[in-house]
Amino acid sequence: MAELTRLRSSIDNLDAALVHLLAERFKCTQQVGELKARAEMPAADPAREAVQIARLRQLAESSGLDPHFAEKFLALVIDEVIRNHRRLQEPEDPQA
């Protein structure tokens, strides 16, 4: 039980670090979205995504993370980013 408590405390610390890094990542992608909206660039960039997926799979392998999980994680993040980018590109609501 002491061992379980110790491990859960480490997991909670890692989760706090993960949330803070994710917050920082979305701050960056928010800026990317604003740049793209100003430049009228498309929200999604399949070529960039393919490079990111290949790179993360490799990083996952070298760090002992299941590469399949790393890919699912990146898909969740990119999905959210593209949704946010599209929102930045939508014209203002004319009723507002």
Q: How far is the CB of 37 from a second copy (least distance, A)?
A: 12
Q: What Rg, from alpha-carbon coordinates, does the chain have? A: 18
Q: Which residue has the tokens 């393919």?
A: 50
Specify whether the CB–CB gap between 26 and 41 falls below 8 A. Answer: no
5-24: contacts with a second copy (CB under 8 A): 7-8, 10-12, 14-24
Exposure b/e, 63-91, CB count within 10 A at least 16 = b: eeeeeeebbeebeebbeebbeebeeeeee
60-89: contacts with a second copy (CB under 8 A): 60, 63-66, 69-70, 72-74, 76, 80
Q: Check binding of 54 to a second copy (CB under 8 A).
A: no
Which residues contribute to the site for a second copy (CB under 8 A)?
Answer: 3-4, 7-8, 10-12, 14-29, 31-32, 35-36, 48, 52, 55-56, 59-60, 63-66, 69-70, 72-74, 76, 80
